[in-house]
Structure formats: structure tokens, C-alpha cells
Chains A and B, each alone.
Chain A
Amino acid sequence: MGRYIARRLLQAIPMLFLLSLALFVLVNIAPGGPLAGHGRSRRPDPEKAEILKRQFGLDQPLPVQYVVWLIGNDWMKVDADGDGIKESNGTRRGILRGDFGFSFKTRQPVLDEILDRLGNTVYLMTATLIVVAIIAIPVGIISAIKQYSFFDIGVTTLSFMGQAIPEFWLGMILILVFYVWLKNPATGEPLLPPGGMKSLDTGFNLWDRIQHLILPVTMGAVGWVAWYSRFLRSGMLDVIHQDYIRTARAKGLSERVVMLRHALKNAFIPLVTILALDIPYIFAGSLYVELIFSWPGMGRLYYQAATGRDYPVLMAILIFASMFTVFANLLADVAYGYLDPRIRFE
């Protein structure tokens, strides 16, 4: 097992390098640049362009830019003041040393910007995931056990609907209903807040936090619950029809024991792997939820960076997300191999 993990890790590293190179190329061949503001003057001062290019390091050829991005330029001389003479040391250390550069828009270190938002995204996504798990797992299991019952058919229909609703449309409708139309009968105020993580004139108030979570979590959870509950249902169904279940029943074990002890554990295996594959989603966040509900998270940061062509931020987020995915895949494979002995002995 250990050797397998080590081998996969070793394979992951060149893949990450290739991925970073591919992303770097993609990001940089996109036309347009950060030098064009969409500011109030509608167009940037051209005189600024030269200074900005120097400060952003964009005056270097692309391969040099990639190398600098990777390992920094403090080991070489650069021309910092535009006089054509390379006399000062660079200031960047490169991502391999933890320096993800600075945002073109705010000039702040990219890592800081990401870390500022990361917690918020994880917070939201974890809450969503918990809600999803609480709903989808029991629903999926019961649905499978009582196949073709009313419950099952109802759940299946709802799942289909849940997977067909466009997420952003749902968000719009939620705001329409719960912020604009429905009012709290006692105070006449809107029922739920339209966004943000918390009200700002209170300290840590659990009820306030929950209120701010309800709508975004609903928006994100609907599709997820639909997907997971069906997945679990079909996983359970596959397991239930296996021979060893029949054997367990034949042995005289109660239905409950059969289901919970034998069927469930095995049905969980594919769910665990799906869950592991969804872990990167927790960190990258849902763009739509964060946009519609003003949630200060990573997804929104990416979207703003994309529209503003803020390359360092884009690259950093893409690399982070990819890294998470690679390791999540590895985790899923390992978990699957560990949990399912049949794979192990292949």
C-alpha cells in the first residue's frame, strides 16, 4: 500500500507541473491584459502601460515569465526603474517557495487574498455538505430498501427535478421569494437576508449566522442532494441484489442487521469515493452561490479575477484547485483500494 501511494504521489508531481504549464500558457495567450482598466475614465492612461508592464514583469518573454513565476527572480538582476540597466535584484520568490506573486489589481500578495477567502468558502461548503449528507444518506438508503414504494417514487421524482434546476435560477428565485415577497409577519422585515455571512452590528450570533446560511446552502444543496441520494440508492440497490446479501438473509439474520451491517457498508464505498472527488469543490467553492448571495469566497474571487484579467490570482486559484483535485483523486483511489479488498488483490 505504501509503495502504491508513493508511486502515485510521484506520478502526481510531473502532472502538476504539466498542468501548471498548460494553465500558464492558457492564461497568458488570452488577449487583453490587466493594463486596461475598466475604470471610470473608461480607458487607461497609455503612459501607465510601460510602468505597469515593468512592475508586473510582463515585459519579459513568456518562458522567462513562467520560470520567474515558478522559482522567483530574486536570484537574478532585473531592470526595476526602467532605465534599461538591470541593476537590482528581483523581489519575487516563486510559487515553489510559497510566493504566489501579487494581484495585478490590488498589488496585494495573492496568497493573502486567497487565504482571506478560503475560510469563508470552506465554511459555506461544509455547511452545505453536512446538510446534504444528513438528507441524502437516509433518503437514498430508505429509497433503495423500499424500492418502488411511494416514498421511492416521490424521492426519485424530486431528485430528477433537483438535478434539472439551474442552480443560479434557483438562487434568483430564492431571493425573490424570501427577501422580496415573504415578510416576517411579526416585524414586517424581509424573512431572510439577501446575502453576506452575517449581520455586521452584532458579535457572534448563532441564529444570525444560520439565517445567513439558509438560502445559500439551499441553493447549493438541492442539486447535490438529488445527485447523492440517487447515487446512494443505486449503490444500495446494486449491493442488495448481490449473493452475499441473500446468504446473510438465509443465515437468519434480521433484515435490519442485513441492511445496516452488510449492505450499507458496501454501498458506502462508492459514496466515499464520490465524496473524496467532491472535496476540491469544497475549496473552490460554488461560483454561482457566492455571486448571488454576496459571499466573500474563492469562487467569486476567481470570477472577478477572470473578468479583470488578474493573471496571478487566476493562476494561483487554478493551481490550488487542481492540486486539491489531484490529491483528492489520490485519496479516493487509496480509500477505495483500502475499503474494497477485491481491488487490493487485483
Chain B
Amino acid sequence: MDESPTPLNDTAQLQWAAQERAHETMLTMVWKRFRRHPGAIAGLIILGIIILGVILAPLSPYDPEASDIRNRFQPPSLQHPFGTDALGRDLLTRCLYGGRVSLTVGFLVVLITLAVGIPVGAVAGFSGGWIDNVLMRITDAALSMPSLMVLILLSAILREVEIPFFERNNVLTIALVIGALSWMTVARLVRASFLAIKEMEFITAARCLGTPRLRLMGRHILPNAVGPIIVEATLEMGWAIMEEAGLSFLGFGIQPPTPSWGNLLESAWEHMVKYPWLAIFPGLMIFLTIIAINYIGDGLRDAFDPHKVLQRVGEV
């Protein structure tokens, strides 16, 4: 195709150019680049371990919710690597089960973010005009809300209102609450990408050929915009886990006896001086998970960044 030596500044065109040059699919190319990022690989490993641990939680000999009164507040030992809590329950088991809840919330929020943000951004970017205006005003309004405060409010409402299918303080409810304020950045990204790519020649060409709009959006535009979206979604997951922990810590998130990392911290606060392990381990889990996710996100960002590629290739 075009062998122009002039440096290209448009993301999508760069992407496409690099692809052409390497004769690879996008996925392989991204993966190759990702592999070179040590932090990201480490993050992937750590997150993998955590996810594995969380999935295998039922293998634990201890019941996360059954009490063992004689064994309260035991410090970490061989039988209880993380110690025991106020009811004598094994903290490691509770942390792993708590991880299930926290990670599930994280995944769900990412799903919601993509499910809401992409369509909103796509429609806005593609249609332009008053549709774009209205959608952007709504997005701006949602962004204008002070997030933690509104999360508290939403949580207070949704937790008590009787919605069919939602029990009180279900994981789904909290995910919904956090998701309600997480989709805006992705929407904006998608819209920006759409705005930029919309004008490009190959799109005009496809349109001339009579490609229906949806296909245009889905098949032609979206794949080229996907890079930043994936990065953003990954980082959103870290944010969601952090928010859930914070909300539960304040008492507006997942409620006991269901463990989540946040509410494990909340009950540990009071005993911190005497039994610090109760606070240290859940906090550590949150820390490791989020740092892993952030590194992965960073790696993805580099992997999708054509500048970096073409730097290495010597083009730019």
C-alpha cells in the first residue's frame, strides 16, 4: 500500500500502518509488545495468583462465616496464616472469599462501563449534532457529581428500595452503584475516537459503498478505537475495587457477614492496635490487586501505543 515516508500522526492510521508492515493481526502485535513490559508481566502474574486463590477459596478447610469462639483473635500461625478474627474465623479464608466479592464487583463494573460507555460514546461521536450535544451534556452532568458523595447517596437508596431480583446489599447492587459513575470516561474516549476516525478516507470509502451505519460503527471504526478503551477499562477495574473497599469501609458497601476486602478493613479498624494483622492483610490484598491491575494497564497502554512501536521500528 502507501509507502509514504512522512510520519503519521493519527493513531488509527499508525496502527494500521504498523499492522500492514508487520503482516500481523492486531492481537498478536499487541501481545508481543505487551510481553516486553516487565511490570505488566509481573502484574499479570500477581493478578493471576490472586484470581486463582480466589477461585480456589472453597478448598479451604475453614468456613468463612462459621464462628469458632474459642479461637478469637489468634495471631498469624501455621494453622491460620493470616490469623483469626473476632469470631475466630480464619482470616485467609475470609480474605479469599472477600476477594471473590471485590473482584466480582470489579468485573461487573467494567462490564457496565463498557456496556454503557461504548454505545453512548459511539452514538454521540458518530451522529454529531444535537444527539451528540445532549449525550455530552448528560455525560458532563454525571462527571460533575462529586463521585464519593453521590456513591454514598446511591448506595443508601438502592440498598433499601425493593427492586425485583436484587436482594439487599447484593454484590450486584453495589456494582450497579459504582458502575453508574464509571462509564463517562470511556464514553468520552469512544466519542473522541469516533470523531477522529469518522472523517478518514477509508470510512468515507466504506460509506460510499453503502455500508450500513451499525456495521460501520462496529466493524470499521470500533476496532481502531479499541486500544485506549481497553486500557481505560482495565484501570476502571482498579478504581472500582478501590471504591468498593472505600464504600464498605464507610458502611455503605457490602455488609457483613458477607466478607469483602473493604468491610474486613472496617471491622479491623477498631482492633488495630491490639490485633494489627486484621487490618494489614486485607489492605495488602487490595494493594497487590490494584498495583497489578495498574501495571497491566500500563503495559496495555504501551502495547497499543503505535508511537512506541514505530519508535522502535525507527520510523518516528
Contact = CB atoms under 8 A, between A and B. Distances in A.
B144 A329 contact: yes
B206 interface: no
Contacts of B143: 325, 329
B141 A164 contact: no
B95 to A, nearest CB: 14
A165 B286 CA distance: 8
Interface residues of A, number: 44
A284 B242 CA distance: 19
A165 B39 CA distance: 17
Interface in B238-293: 238, 242, 245-246, 249-252, 265, 269, 272-273, 276, 279, 283, 286-288, 290-291
Contacts of B311: 241
A176 B144 contact: no
B139 to A, nearest CB: 11
B152 interface: yes
A95 interface: no
Interface stretch (B18-26, B70-78, B154-162, B212-220): B154-162
Contact of A306 (B146, B153, B279, B290): B153
B131 interface: no
A19 B141 contact: yes
Interface stretch (A47-55, A67-75, A313-321, A337-345): A313-321
B140 A15 contact: yes
B163 to A, nearest CB: 12
B161 A160 contact: no
Contacts of A306: 149, 152-153, 156, 252
Contact size range, B: 35 or more
Interface in A157-182: 160-161, 163-169, 172-173, 176, 180
A125 to B, nearest CB: 13
B294 interface: yes
A256 to B, nearest CB: 24
Contacts of B156: 30, 306
A80 B146 CA distance: 36
A186 interface: no
A322 interface: yes
Nearest to A157: B39
A160 B286 CA distance: 13
Interface string B161-172: 100000000000
Given A165-B287, A241-B307, A318-B145, A303 B153 contact: no
Nearest to A314: B153
B137 interface: yes
A326 B144 contact: yes
B146 A318 contact: yes
Interface of A: 11, 15, 18-19, 22-23, 26-27, 29-32, 160-161, 163-169, 172-173, 176, 180, 241, 280-281, 284, 287-288, 291, 302-303, 306-307, 314, 317-318, 321-322, 325-326, 329
User: Sorted from nearest, which 7 A-B pairs have the closest CB atoms?
Assistant: A164-B291, A164-B290, A169-B283, A321-B146, A325-B144, A30-B157, A31-B160
Interface of B: 39, 137, 140-141, 143-146, 148-150, 152-154, 156-157, 160-161, 238, 242, 245-246, 249-252, 265, 269, 272-273, 276, 279, 283, 286-288, 290-291, 294-295, 298, 307, 311, 316
Given A241-B311, A321-B146, 6 more contacts: A160-B298, A173-B279, A287-B250, A321-B149, A322-B144, A329-B140
